[in-house]
Amino acid sequence: MQLRSDAIKRGLARAPHRSLLAADGLTDEELDRPLVAVVSAQNEVIPGHIHLQQIADAVKAGVRMAGGTPLQVNTIGVCDGIAMNHAGMRYSLTSREVIADSVECAVQGHQFDAMVLIPSCDKIVPGMLIAAARLDIPTILVSGGPMLAGRGRHGEQTDLNSLFDAVGQVTAGTMTEEECSWLEKTACPTCGSCSGMFTANSICCLAEALGIALPGNGTVPAVYSERIRLAKRAGMKVMELVEKNLTARQILTPAAIHNGMVLDMAFGGSTNTMLHLTAIAQAAGCPVTMDDWDRASAETPNIVRIAPAGPLHIQDLNDVGGVSAIIGELGRTGHLDLDAVTCHGTMAEWVAACPEPDGEVVRAVGDAYSPDGGLKVVRGNLAPDCGVVKKSAVAPEMWRHSGPARVFDSEEQACEAIFGGAIHPGDVVVIRYEGPAGGPGMREMLTPTSAICGMGLASSVALITDGRFSGASKGPCIGHVSPEAAAGGPIALVREGDTISIDIQAGTLTLDVDDDELARRRAAWQPPAPKYTTGVLSRYARLVTSADKGAYLS
């Protein structure tokens, strides 16, 4: 069989190359086999990544069992929770592109025959999937798995978001600092990606629907032995893909992207998944638009509500069959493209083997929480291209809201006002100049959204931003407003006290200011000076596309 890696190991001219590979300790027998890149994002900062060396070792064992030669390379990662609410968050979304580039460089530079991707968290998973689409070689992704939920003093499940909410509750006087300290020590009890249907777990689950990860990837907890066995199976499976010459783009097809969007709507994942899957689809050569997302939302029932949309966590979904339980129900009711190819067979074959929904964690389509999806696209004169909201995590009484704009040109200004008691029931908080280019880096707004919730304002205050939200965010929060303020979008023209009207069910976001007045404001508007003139953020700000396009680099 002709292999890509022959370019570095066959023929007289490759004698220097073979000498260097021998210096790695590789035998002639190992060089005769396919070379598999085991791409790990292990580090000692991110809880979802601290254990990934164990996953990588299991993958390598699987590759060897199936007749391949695994070679490990590593890439970076940024923990969104630790980066939240300071300058570090500007580097989170930016890191997605750096990760994609680094994987491409390492794999192309050494002409690997296949790769197994080992991420866990937020930007690392989509960054690796973007690289997979670019490289188009046999590829499987296996994540490190989700964290177990914590336990509160009264037996309730807790998670990282419990801490962000607690800060607001302590500020409001509804929680003591001692109670907050208890949560601080117990809410994140194990390694793994944070335990709700936050961004990391959302995209790890979507990798299953995309067909590039084995069933269980998104839900088997990090601390379960089954996670090690899954990693070994991934290593063996990638060797099957090499034999079949089944490459990433043969899996990441329009049918797969459709199935990913449908699953996203069914479980109401993080709004970040709309950003990431749009960028992955672009890299795979099958781009999607906000109209496609809108259509998927309208046609897909919301049948799962995991934290922050409900009290349950990823381990509870795993206990009833994981993503397979959702896939089975969606497939049997005609919502999926059953012709899609996965790394383990066709979608039709997978659906046939899936369990029935349990009725509590995963509902039947006929008993859905909502006939439409958990995520919603909104548009209007304030967001001509798009805004997005996690509808399933918004109380129905806030699906419609109208109130005065409270305008802030940074997250820090908004947080100061919220914690200082300057935001009142009925207000619409507007945080702008936090978009992909204007931020730069499109920071997540978990601190202000959690502060609003923790201070008891989630049923009376809305938040709108050209930034984005953590998957842990809940309440009437509309992000990804496009065009962004730095590009002169209408959000840049909002003034303190303007009335903003939101109708989530209708999908509208309206600034109640007449066109003539907006034209006058637009004529007077001046673009802000770049916040960074050197380094990665400067390059990112110059090259990044808008949020509705997926915020990829042009």
Could you say which of 324, 470, 473, 482 is catalytic? 470
Which parts of 369-431 are beta strand (E)?
376-380, 383-389, 400-408, 428-431
Q: How far apart are CA 128 and CA 219, in angstroms?
A: 19
Backbone angles phi, psi at 404, to 5 degrees: -75, 140
How would you label 364-387 residue by residue, b for 16+ Cβ within 10 Å and e otherwise?
ebeebbbebbbbbbbbbebbebbb
- DSSP element (H, E) containing 499: strand 499-503
Is the separation of the CB atoms in 248 and 113 below 8 Å?
A: no
323 and 263 in contact (C-beta within 8 Å)?
A: yes
Radius of gyration of the chain (CA): 23
The answer to whether 435 and 485 are in contact (CB under 8 A) is: yes
Q: Identify the H or E element spanning 40.
A: strand 35-40
- Check: CB of residue 51 under 8 Å from CB of residue 142: no
Q: Are 502 and 476 in contact (CB under 8 A)?
A: yes
Could you give the count of Cα atoms lying within 13 Å of 304 in the half-sphere of its Cβ?
A: 35
Rounded to an integer, what distance in angstroms lies between the CA atom of residue 86 and that of residue 368?
A: 39
Residue 470 appears among annotated catalytic residues = yes
Distances in Å between the Cα of 199 and the Cα atoms of 93, 297, 390, 440, 471 are 12, 18, 12, 20, 5
| Catalytic positions, written as ranges | 470
